[in-house]
Amino acid sequence: MKIAFIEPEYKHEGYTCNQKFLDAYTDKKKHAGLYNNANLGLLTLAAQVPTDWEIQYIHTPIEKIDYNEQFDIVALGGMTRQANEIYRIIDKFKTQGVYTVMGGIHATVCHEEAASHAHTVIVGEGEDSFPRFLEDFSSGAPKSCYGPSNEIDLMSSPLPRYDLITGDFQNYPVQTTRGCPRNCKFCAATRIYGKSYRHKTSEQVVQEIQMINSVRRNPFILFVDDNMFIHKAFSRELLQKLIPLDIRFQALSDISIGEDQELLELMYKAGCKELFIGLESPTSHDIAYVQHNGWKANQTKHYSQLIRNIQDHGIRIYGSFILGFDNHTQDHIARIKEFVWENKILGQFSILTPFPGTEFYDEFKQKGRLREDKSWYHYNLYDCVIHHPNFSARELEDAIIEIFEFTFSDENYARVVRRQIEGVKNMEYKKKRV
């Protein structure tokens, strides 16, 4: 048997994906192209394929698909913005008689749509379902849909097949936990992964990094967990074990990490260079809209102090902000830029995008506020897919470009670098004193 796992390309079709925008956002010099990395979900499923099967991992942003190759199965997965491209690839393989499987976030939340293209759809986490599909396929009776299964035990999740990666990536994804207790209305994590917060063992994570080290010298590790340091005891244990590995990494966290000096110290020692933090907005009244329990809104008054605490530990902040809440006006653009400048941070700035599977999607769809002329290609965070009371779509898209250009300007970038230098020196000084 021969199976291909295919990571579909992110097509740039929208207005904001013009060259000006891409130059600001993807400038290798300033942010190392951190988001170009292999598909961890596919590599994890690949680990469950019987050892006597032939496996190929094709990362289409850098590798071409050979449609003449005789695969028995092609498996694809991805996010909403990749959905149309996934369907295009699947449809093409189907005409050649190849069996197609689709999983991942979009297939999970839009499984009927996915089923109109793929022979089989894997809904939810794939670790339980995919081996069952492989068995059924081998015996000649694959089902059209598998899952959703119960929340899987991450401690039994297989070691992803990093060895299948052929492209020369600088960054390698590793997942240590699944789930997020914050339950934000714009995020599908809770609906997809459930409410419980689960983690791998620290030994598993170390093994995964050792495997990455065996295929790529001096890699940069991206911990792709939605919110990595919720389980404090596990985080401490894991970070202690990462120290001897001498790695560099970025992780995603909520801002509360700034309260935990002990964990921040361990993170620095373990090689944390940057935290991606969903700050959403500098003001509390619009954040109140994104969560029912108001947790995030209550944090905004502490943002600057918590950011300083993190930066004092030599860790750079990459904030994530959303523009396009109903109360946003032109003033808000200036407020975000001011916040970026004062707090010496970089960031990702996106237009409020109601992804399918989120509470926002249901709300916007019900109110007729989703733009009908936008396909899944445009659900890329930077193209406007909503009707906004105070901005036209083009105004919001221009605002995003303006904020990106400001944030990644030489002037702001130099302030961010200086702030991180101060943090690193602070940590070195502390180390010497000890």
Contacting another protein within 132-191 (CB under 8 A): 170
Stretch that binds another protein, among 40-48, 109-117, 126-134, 413-421 (CB under 8 A): 413-421
**373 forms part of the interface with another protein (CB under 8 A):** no
Q: How far is the CB of 405 from another protein (least distance, A)?
A: 16
Distance CA 50, CA 299 (A): 48
Q: What is the pattern of x (binds another protein, CB under 8 A) and - over residues 259-298?
A: --------------xx------------------------
Distance CA 177, CA 197 (A): 7
Which of 13, 23, 28, 338 lies at the binding interface for another protein (CB under 8 A)?
28
Which of 22, 110, 115, 424 lies at the binding interface for another protein (CB under 8 A)?
424
Q: Which residues contact 140 (CB under 8 A, 6 or more apart)?
A: none
| Helices 261-270 & 232-242 angle (0-180, nearest 10) | 30
Which of 81, 200, 316, 378 lies at the binding interface for another protein (CB under 8 A)?
316
User: What tokens were used for 9?
Assistant: 């390309």
Number of residues near another protein (by CB under 8 A): 25
**430 forms part of the interface with another protein (CB under 8 A):** no
Nearest residue (CB) to another protein, 27 versus 151: 27
Which of 218, 368, 373, 389 lies at the binding interface for another protein (CB under 8 A)?
218
**421 forms part of the interface with another protein (CB under 8 A):** yes
Distance CA 252, CA 357 (A): 21
Nearest residue (CB) to another protein, 214 versus 327: 214
Nearest residue (CB) to another protein, 66 versus 246: 246
**415 forms part of the interface with another protein (CB under 8 A):** yes
H or E element that contains 131: helix 126-138
Distance CA 277, CA 343 (A): 13
Stretch that binds another protein, among 76-84, 88-96, 227-235, 405-413 (CB under 8 A): 405-413
* Full DSSP string of 169-232: -SEEEE--EE--TT--TT--HHHHH-SS-EE--HHHHHHHHHHHHHHSSSPEEEE--SSTTSSH
Which of 241, 248, 302, 369 lies at the binding interface for another protein (CB under 8 A)?
248
Q: How far is the CB of 429 from another protein (least distance, A)?
A: 10
H or E element that contains 132: helix 126-138
Q: Are 159 and 205 in contact (CB under 8 A)?
A: no
Distance CA 26, CA 33 (A): 6
Q: How far is the CB of 217 from another protein (least distance, A)?
A: 7
**425 forms part of the interface with another protein (CB under 8 A):** yes
Which of 64, 217, 301, 433 lies at the binding interface for another protein (CB under 8 A)?
217
**301 forms part of the interface with another protein (CB under 8 A):** no
Q: How far is the CB of 210 from another protein (least distance, A)?
A: 15
Nearest residue (CB) to another protein, 371 versus 418: 418
Q: Which pairing describes strands 272-280 and 248-253: parallel, antiparallel, or unpaired?
A: parallel
Which of 7, 10, 31, 103 lies at the binding interface for another protein (CB under 8 A)?
31
Stretch that binds another protein, among 25-33, 62-70, 124-132, 329-337 (CB under 8 A): 25-33
**411 forms part of the interface with another protein (CB under 8 A):** yes
Distance CA 49, CA 52 (A): 8
Nearest residue (CB) to another protein, 199 versus 419: 419
Residue tagged 């399918």 (tokens) = 356
Distance CA 266, CA 253 (A): 15
Distances (CA, A) of 174 to 100, 195, 203, 221, 231: 26, 21, 13, 7, 17
Distances (CA, A) of 92 to 35, 42, 132, 170: 27, 20, 25, 31
Q: How far is the CB of 36 from another protein (least distance, A)?
A: 11
Distance CA 427, CA 434 (A): 11
Which amino acid is located at 296 in the chain? K
Nearest residue (CB) to another protein, 190 versus 311: 311
Residue tagged 């994590």 (tokens) = 189
**29 forms part of the interface with another protein (CB under 8 A):** yes
Of 15, 137, 31, the residue nearest 412 (C-alpha) = 31
Nearest residue (CB) to another protein, 9 versus 274: 274
Which of 8, 30, 178, 347 lies at the binding interface for another protein (CB under 8 A)?
30
Return residues touching another protein (CB under 8 A): 28-32, 170, 217-218, 220, 248, 273-274, 316, 410-411, 413-415, 417-418, 420-421, 424-425, 428
